[in-house]
């Protein structure tokens, strides 16, 4: 137990901060994923073949390639790409991107591909009459989307989004390869310096279980809240 003490003697506070880091990366990644889904879901549902092709490429490639490979692409290729863009604007210094940003971006793109599929499925399972009714009523496009389609879509999407959240949360463990100090990386450091890997990796497993358990509880509440009236 003294291994987990807070302060200088134990690893308690470090692991606590690392847990917050895991949460921060997961939430940021989930949010970036939503932004991607917001762009790609309409492309997927549009009647334009070209837009469909782009969106399908995105979801197929990202969901068919290992997460670790995507992370390596961003980790090794990220700063090169940013420097290339910066050089077009005449900035030629070396730019190093923060591990947090690369990590959440990489995981965000992955989670975005899953979210896109979830939103697409949710919109497609909304009753056709709803679209037609709001057209007949002459609702403006933004009102039609935000007041009619979105609330129904969210209700249908929540159970599947909770799966995406679980996947995203677990994927953040892979960012440890880039050196960002989240649960896995901190356990690796602690295991290395105390030579007690079994304890620290098991403890990391417990932390992840705790996070998934708590988020399930939270999502169940949301589900109840959004299915009021059904």
Query: Would you tell me which residues interact with other proteins (CB under 8 A)?
Result: 60-61, 64-69, 72-73, 76-77, 80, 170-171, 173-174, 176-177, 184, 187-188, 191, 195-199, 201-202, 204-205, 208-209, 212-213
> Dihedral angle at the C-alpha atoms of 39, 227, 144, 146, nearest 10 degrees?
-50
Residue 74 or 134 having the CB closest to other proteins: 74
Nearer to other proteins, 73 or 139 (CB): 73
Nearer to other proteins, 174 or 180 (CB): 174
How long a stretch of residues is the chain? Answer: 230
Minimum CB distance to other proteins, residue 154 (Å): 24
CB of 68 to other proteins, least distance (A): 4
Closest distance to other proteins from the beta carbon of 18 (Å): 13
Is residue 130 within 8 Å of 149, Cβ to Cβ?
Answer: yes
Contact call for residues 37 and 116 (beta carbons, < 8 A): yes
Task: Please say which residue, 69 or 224, places its beta carbon nearer to other proteins.
Answer: 69
The answer to whether residues 18 and 197 touch, using CB atoms and an 8 Å cutoff, is no
Which has the closest alpha carbon to 114: 173, 170, 46?
Answer: 170
Of 25 and 144, which CB lies nearer to other proteins in the complex structure?
A: 25
30: buried, middle or exposed (CB in 10 Å: 19+, 13-18, 0-12)? buried
Structure tokens at 3: 């291994």
Between 46 and 87, CB nearer to other proteins? 87
Least Å distance between CB 184 and other proteins?
A: 6
Q: How far apart are CA 33 and CA 109, in angstroms?
A: 6
Q: Which is nearer to other proteins, 72 or 226 (CB)?
A: 72
Q: How far is the CB of 87 from other proteins (least distance, A)?
A: 16
User: Minimal distance in Å, beta carbon 204 to other proteins?
Assistant: 5
CA distance 78 to 142: 36
Whether 172 and 182 have beta carbons less than 8 Å apart is answered as: yes
Closest separation in Å from C-beta 3 to other proteins: 13
User: Is there a contact between 20 and 26 (Cβ–Cβ < 8 Å)?
Assistant: no
Does residue 76 contact residue 22 with C-beta atoms inside 8 Å?
Answer: no
């Amino acid at each position: 137990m003294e291994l987990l003490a807070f302060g200088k003697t134990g690893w308690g506070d470090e692991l606590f901060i690392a847990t917050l880091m895991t949460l921060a990366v997961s939430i940021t990644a989930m949010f970036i994923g939503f932004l991607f889904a917001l762009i790609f879901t309409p492309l997927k549902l549009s009647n334009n073949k070209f837009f469909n092709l782009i969106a399908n490429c995105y979801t197929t490639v990202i969901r068919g390639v290992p997460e670790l490979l995507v992370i390596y692409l961003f980790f090794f290729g990220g700063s090169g790409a940013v420097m290339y863009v910066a050089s077009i604007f005449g900035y030629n210094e070396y730019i190093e991107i923060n591990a947090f940003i690369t990590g959440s971006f990489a995981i965000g793109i992955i989670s975005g591909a899953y979210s896109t599929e979830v939103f697409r499925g949710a919109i497609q399972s909304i009753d056709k009459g709803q679209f037609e009714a709001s057209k007949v009523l002459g609702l403006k496009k933004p009102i039609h989307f935000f007041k009619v389609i979105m609330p129904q879509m969210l209700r249908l999407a929540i159970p599947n989004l909770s799966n995406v959240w679980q996947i995203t949360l677990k994927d953040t463990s892979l960012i440890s390869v880039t050196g960002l100090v989240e649960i896995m990386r901190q356990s690796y450091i602690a295991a290395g310096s105390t030579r007690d890997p079994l304890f620290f990796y098991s403890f990391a497993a417990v932390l992840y279980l705790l996070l998934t358990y708590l988020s399930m509880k939270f999502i169940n509440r949301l589900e109840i809240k959004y299915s009021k009236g059904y």
